[in-house]
Amino acid sequence: MSEGTHSTTVGSRTTSWLKMIGGTAILIAGAAVMIQIFRAEPAAAPTDASGKASLNASTPTLASVNGKPIPYDVVARECFDRIGKEVLENMINRTIILQEMEKRNLTITEAELNQEVIKIAKRFNLPPDTWYQMLQAERDLSPVQYRRDVIWPMIALRKLAGEEIQVSESDMQRAFQRNYGPRVRVRMIMMDNFRRAGEVWEQAKRNPEEFERLARDHSIEPNSKSLGGSIPPISRYSGNADNRAVEDAAFRLKPNEISGLIQVGSNYVILKCEGHTKQVVTDISEVSEQLYDQLSEEKTQERIAQVFDNLKKQTRVDNYLTNISSGGNKTTQTGNYTNKIQQTGTTLPGTKNNRVKQAAGTVPTTR
């Protein structure tokens, strides 16, 4: 088996799982979560070609067409080929968490699972039954799958994180400005060649009214390109240091003014200001409870992502399907697992986050 880190694809699946775990749940009355997660389901009773149970058949038959059987092992193989890697990766991740829970003598009760469901459904002003139905319809996750793959790992990682989350007054003020403060409405052109970016910038400076056409013709960012460079309004404190640099550049602009070239990694961005919005809420006390809950959730997700990342690094995993070994003294990528935990708890199933895509490479930093 080759020694090495998880590939980007594997890391991507990992972050997705963590994001999904981060805030949704399905309530399953009477289910024993530890058994559901880690004990194999019993095999279906063997059947003959007619579909009737047959204890003598070596391979169960799941269906027949004009008397021709479709055996269990054929169905299982096709399922394995389609989603086997993802299912195995999720089982590996859950097993890593379970082993650490056992090591620390930590358990999760049915009451804790049930309470998490109620809390998450309430977040979206939905009764639990409606929430379950939405998850099934939008994400094609059954109650059993969601309880096993989302709720239990989420609570377990919170317990393993252990530390009480602290939200400071400065955290509250920054979140208040981020969520309710003034924003800048801009259009954006993103390019990956400095010389060509300079040429386009010169054209935009000479003819600001041509900015939309220039964005359609030259921008490499596909979502805004088709909209003539239109992106959601930029707020303060919307992300990491790169985002703050873009925010500073945007907030310095006056209506119809063109920015200089803003560099992010190997990309170059040009902004055109289309105006400023007003403060939505002026008194932080009106929204302090919502802000506190949001910040607590954000900080919790950051903490459990760190905990899981450390567990992955400390745990030796030999994946014979992908022929990849990781953990122990190896460094692994866990990004996607965390994102999956967070996603489902912070947005309704089927909806998209409308913030500017300011993560690495999609929204620029001023240099």
**pLDDT tens, residue by residue, 2-50:** 444 344 444 544 555 455 554 433 332 223 333 333 333 333 333 444 4
The whole-number pLDDT of residue 141 equals 83
3-state secondary structure of 269: strand
Nearest-5° Cα angle at 89, 341 to 93? 55
pLDDT (tens digit, 9 = 90+) per residue, 224-240? 999 999 999 999 998 77
Same domain membership, residue 111 and residue 10: yes
Asked whether 210 and 330 are in contact (CB, 8 A), the reply is: no
- Between 261 and 28, residue with greater pLDDT: 261
Same domain membership, residue 141 and residue 81: yes
What residues are paired with 168 via a beta bridge?
Answer: none
Mean pLDDT of 295-321: 91
Same domain membership, residue 118 and residue 35: yes
Kindly state the percentage of the chain with pLDDT values over 70.
Answer: 73
In a domain, 239, yes or no: yes
Same domain membership, residue 118 and residue 242: no
Domain with 209, as residue range(s), is: 182-276
Which amino acid is residue 73, in one-letter code? D
In a domain, 314, yes or no: yes
Of 184-198, 273-287, 346-360, the one with minimum mean pLDDT is 346-360
Asked whether 180 and 280 are in contact (CB, 8 A), the reply is: yes
pLDDT (tens digit, 9 = 90+) per residue, 68-105? 999 999 999 999 999 999 999 989 999 999 999 999 99
Same domain membership, residue 232 and residue 90: no
- Pick from 257, 276, 295: which residue ends a domain? 276
Q: DSSP class of residue 259? A: P
- Between 96 and 1, residue with greater pLDDT: 96
The whole-number pLDDT of residue 121 equals 84
Mean pLDDT of 136-163: 86
In a domain, 142, yes or no: yes
Four-residue CA torsion sign, 262, 267, 272, 278: negative
Kindly state the percentage of the chain with pLDDT values over 90.
Answer: 49
User: What is the domain count for the chain?
Assistant: 2
Give the tokens for residue 56: 């003598």
Give the tokens for residue 229: 């460079």
Instruction: Provide the mean pLDDT of the chain.
Output: 78
| Alpha helix positions (H), the chain | 8-21, 33-38, 72-103, 110-123, 128-139, 143-146, 152-161, 169-180, 194-206, 211-218, 222-225, 241-252, 288-314, 335-346
C-alpha distances out from residue 184 to 42, 132, 213, 257, 358, Å: 58, 38, 21, 12, 14
3-state secondary structure of 358: coil
Q: How far apart are CA 308 and CA 201, in angstroms?
A: 44
Asked whether 72 and 84 are in contact (CB, 8 A), the reply is: no
Same domain membership, residue 105 and residue 6: yes
In a domain, 51, yes or no: no
SS3 content of the chain, % helix, strand, coil (to 5): 50, 10, 35
Of 19-28, 158-167, 261-270, 340-349, the one with minimum mean pLDDT is 19-28
Token pair 């390019």 in the structure block, residue? 191
Task: Give Cα 313 distance to the centre of its chain.
Answer: 21
Provide Rg for the chain, Cα atoms: 25
Q: How far apart are CA 67 and CA 125, in angstroms?
A: 51
The whole-number pLDDT of residue 59 equals 75
Same domain membership, residue 232 and residue 87: no
How do beta strands 2-3 and 324-326 pair? parallel
In a domain, 140, yes or no: yes
Is the full-model pTM beyond 0.75? no
Same domain membership, residue 147 and residue 233: no
Same domain membership, residue 120 and residue 35: yes
Going by C-beta distance under 8 Å and a sequence separation of 6 or more, which residues neighbour residue 235? 177, 178, 179, 181, 182, 183, 247
In a domain, 121, yes or no: yes
The whole-number pLDDT of residue 196 equals 95
Same domain membership, residue 82 and residue 213: no
Asked whether 278 and 235 are in contact (CB, 8 A), the reply is: no
Same domain membership, residue 130 and residue 65: yes
- Pick from 252, 276, 300: which residue ends a domain? 276
Same domain membership, residue 207 and residue 121: no
- Pick from 247, 276, 305: which residue ends a domain? 276
Residue 208 binned pLDDT confidence (cut-offs 50, 70, 90): very high
In a domain, 173, yes or no: no
CATH number, domain with residue 189: 3.10.50.40
The whole-number pLDDT of residue 146 equals 81
- Between 40 and 190, residue with greater pLDDT: 190
In a domain, 177, yes or no: no
